[in-house]
Structure 1
Amino acid sequence: MGILWSRLFGKEEMKLVILGLDNAGKSTILYKITMGEVVSTAPTVGANQTSWSSYYGQAKALIMVVDSTDRARLNLAKEELHRVATDPELSAQSGADGACLLIFANKQDVKGCMTPAQVSEGLALTELRDRQWQIVACSALTGKGLMDGMDWIASVA
């Protein structure tokens, strides 16, 4: 999902790209941030990881949404994140420093979910040395943590 944002509610436009595996909460987060409410969504059909690069052009920030309850697919999320984060097109089109990377560790409202530290370790975020990144605990349903992440993007992008 690529979206243009007026410099996070200001006047200057900024392109953000929101990515994540299916059922991570991308659409719910997008609706919660833009509309301030949770909207019942159906799984997005027709989008897949191989087409993500079509959204990269001039992106200032990349938001990766990770389902903190899905331990079984954390390694797949890691593979996709590293594939995207090291894509030369994303870096080349975003300027010398490349797009900043925000990871939303979503579904923190669910008992037994992974902590942001566990998600960070599972995604091997410390290996991403040539890109500014931040991981933020959030719940798409309650909205907790979402504006913290958006504030971080506004401060670094």
Structure 2
Amino acid sequence: MFLVDWLYGILWMLGLGAKEAKILFLGLDNAGKTTLLHMLKDERLGQHQPTQHPTSEELMIGKIRFTAFDLGGHRMARRLWKDYYTKMDAVAYIVDAADRDRFLESKKELDALLSDEALVNVPFLVLGNKIDIPYAASEDELRYHLGLAGCTTGKGRVSYTGSSIRPVELFMCSVVRKMGYADGFRWLSQYIK
């Protein structure tokens, strides 16, 4: 491990190392945050217990080394979210696209995040997960229920340096089928400074 850290340090000093960033994985309980985190970390699918305490993992996505924080999504855990906003570079907000009964609750939490001053300059990747379930919402339906219709910035490159535009976009995915979320993280990575 020491040799890897040493080599990484040398590459970083030479300008060849990866960028470093901090990202929050947020969303209601049972949306797939922990499953996604483990899929990104070691490409393993597993059954996970509901997140009771904040956890963090180191991830390498493209040329960015992320410290990812999975804070849990049950009501008590959501009270702690604000404690982690400081110095975050990105937010991945995960929604269970098959749980229509909770769209309003998910919208309320997302609205609170998007309007929080501490996150005003942080790009948001919204992932509509579980599209492998036949009755999952379509992208247009989820965009409507989350109040994102006309509010997202597009799936291409959005220049927001010096402007009041914060990149926000919705990507549909299935973590268990390993589809869709890679496009979302590629989109998000272009905004990591």
**TM-score above 0.5:** yes
Which residue is equivalent to 1:137?
172
1:117 paired to 2:140: yes
Moved over 2 A (4+): 126-131
Query: Which protein has the bigger helix share?
Result: 1
Segment of structure 1 superposing worse, 101-110 or 31-40: 31-40
Whole-Å Cα distance in 2 between the matches of residues 44 and 82 of structure 1?
Answer: 22
Superposition map of 1:86-105 within 5 A: 86-91=115-120, 98-105=121-128
* CA-CA distance at 1:128 after TM superposition: 6.8
Whole-Å Cα distance in 1 between the matches of residues 40 and 184 of structure 2?
Answer: 11
Whole-Å Cα distance in 1 between the matches of residues 92 and 46 of structure 2?
Answer: 20
Query: Which string of whole-angstrom CA distances, capped at 9 and with x for unpartnered residues, describes residues 86-129 of structure 1?
Result: 111222xxxxxx01110100000001100111111100013578
Conserved in 2, the CA contact under 8 Å of 1:75 and 1:123? yes
Whole-Å Cα distance in 2 between the matches of residues 84 and 134 of structure 1?
Answer: 14
- The number of residue pairs the alignment matches comes to 142
Whole-Å Cα distance in 2 between the matches of residues 39 and 54 of structure 1?
Answer: 28
Larger RCO of the pair (alpha carbons < 8 Å, separation 6+)? 1
Unpaired segments ≥5 residues, structure 2: 1-16, 54-71, 154-164
- Aligned to 2:51, the other structure's residue is in SS state coil
* CA-CA distance at 1:39 after TM superposition: 2.3
